[in-house]
Amino acid sequence: MNAIPKETVKEVLGALDVREVLDYLDYRTETIQESGKVVRCFCPIHKEQVFRTLSVDVATRKGKCSYNPCPGHKSFDLIQLVALSKNLEYDEATVELAQHFQLRVKIPGAEKMLRQRLDSASSLLAEGSLEEALEKFSRVLAIEPHNIEALEGMAQICELKRLAPQLVGFQKTLIDLHTGRGDHARAALVYEKYVRANPTDVEMRLGYAECLHHLNRKVEMCGELKGIAKVFRDREETDKALEIYRRLRAVDPADAEVPEAIVGILVAEGRADEAIEEMSRQAEEKAAAGDLEGAATRYRQILSLDPRRNDVRAAFIEMVLDSVGGADEVGRADAAARSGAEDEVGGPMRSAGPMRSAGPMRSAGPMRSAGPMAPSSSVSD
C-alpha cells in the first residue's frame, strides 16, 4: 500500500532526525551511542537484548541490523525502521511520523487511510475481536492522539476487558475533548459512566455536576451535588460538605432536605453558634413565607439547643403575636402561651445567668447523635 508519492516520502525522510526517531521508538534508548557519523543501539526491530546490532548513518539516514534473522538486516530508511519496529505499513509509518513530529508536509491520502483504519477497527470491535480492534485503534491514536472515534473505541474495549486504569485515562481524555468543544451532552454520557464506577472521585463528580448545569438538568445536578456532599461527610471533611449544601440551597431553595442537612452537620460538629444562626435564618425565612408552624419548630429547636437565647425567644414570641395581630392583650398572651414560646423552656424574662451554662451544647452529649430534631425533653432541667 505505497500510495504516498515518492516526493512526499522524500520530504518526510529529509525532515526526520535519527536520534529523535530512535527516542520515539523508545526501545532501550539508554543504549544509544552517537559517534558523529553513525548512531548505534540495541535493535528495536527484533528487540535485541545484548549488543548494539543496529547502526544508522547520520548523513544518509539509512541503517541496518547486523543480526541475520532480523527483518532489518538489509538496509532500511528511517520510515522503514519505524514500520518494521511497530509492525506498520510503510504509508502508515510515514503518516505517523509526519504527525508525531508535526512536520510541515502535506500527505495526500492520509485522511482516507485513517478512515479505513477506523472502519476496520470498528468492524473488529463489533465482531468481538478485541485484541485486533485495540491494535488498530492504537494505530489511529498514534497518528491522531485526539481522534474521538478511536478513543471511544478504546474506552469500549477497556470496559469489555475490564481494564479499569486504562479506561479511566480514555474517559478523562474524552471528557476533556467533548467539554473543550462545548459538547456537554456527549461529555455527560462519559461522565455518567465514570462517576458510577468512581463515586468517591469528587473532583470528577463536580465536573459532572457542572456539565449537568450546562445542560440545564437541574434535578440530576442537585442529586450529584448531594452525592458529593455525602462523600465529604463520610470523609469528615465537613466544611467542604457544608459548602456543597450551601450551593445546593442557592440552586434550589425549596429543597427541605438541604437546610436539615446543614443544621445536622453543624449540630453534630458541636458548632452551636453557627447552628443557631443557621436555624434563626431558616425560621425567619419560613415565617416570611407564611410557614409559621415550620418557623415555630425551628425556634423551639434553637431554644432546646441553647435556652439562654432570649433574643430568639423574643423573635419567636413576636412572630406568634404578629400572627394574631388583631387580638386583644389577653388573646395575644394566650396565643403566645399556646405556641409554647414562653413556657417551652421558661418565660422570656427568665434569667439566662451562668447557672444555665450546663445546657446540652456544653456537654455536646446526646445532641451530637440526636441531631436537631431531638425532643425538647432532653434539655429540661
Q: Which is nearer to Zn ion, 31 or 310 (CB)?
A: 31
Binding residues for Zn ion, per CB under 5 A?
A: 43, 45-46, 65, 67, 70, 72
Q: Which is nearer to Zn ion, 48 or 344 (CB)?
A: 48
Rounded to the nearest whole angstrom, what is the least distance from the CB of residue 48 to Zn ion in the complex?
A: 6
- 142: nearest Cα among 86, 62, 221: 86
- Under 8 Å CB-to-CB from 208, ≥6 apart: which residues? 188, 191, 192, 194, 195, 224
Q: Which is nearer to Zn ion, 43 or 258 (CB)?
A: 43
C-alpha cell read off for 259: 437546610
How far is residue 157's CA from residue 169's CA, in Å, rounded to a whole number?
13
Q: Which is nearer to Zn ion, 4 or 45 (CB)?
A: 45
8 Å CB contact between 335 and 324:
yes
Rounded to the nearest whole angstrom, what is the least distance from the CB of residue 70 to Zn ion in the complex?
A: 3
Rounded to the nearest whole angstrom, what is the least distance from the CB of residue 32 to Zn ion in the complex?
A: 15
Rounded to the nearest whole angstrom, what is the least distance from the CB of residue 92 to Zn ion in the complex?
A: 20
List, edge to edge, every strand of the sheet that includes 76-77: 33-34, 38-41, 54-57, 62-65, 76-77
Rounded to the nearest whole angstrom, what is the least distance from the CB of residue 27 to Zn ion in the complex?
A: 10
Q: Which is nearer to Zn ion, 66 or 310 (CB)?
A: 66
CA angle 8, 32, 90 (to 5 degrees): 25
How far is residue 219's CA from residue 241's CA, in Å, rounded to a whole number?
19
Q: Which is nearer to Zn ion, 56 or 229 (CB)?
A: 56
Q: What are the respective helix, strand and coil percentages of the chain, to the nearest 5? A: 65, 5, 30
DSSP letters for 259-299: HHHHHHHHHHTT-HHHHHHHHHHHHHHHHHTT-HHHHHHHH
Rounded to the nearest whole angstrom, what is the least distance from the CB of residue 54 to Zn ion in the complex?
A: 6
The 3-state DSSP class for residue 40 equals strand
Rounded to the nearest whole angstrom, what is the least distance from the CB of residue 44 to Zn ion in the complex?
A: 8
Q: Which is nearer to Zn ion, 43 or 88 (CB)?
A: 43
- 88: nearest Cα among 140, 124, 126, 32: 140
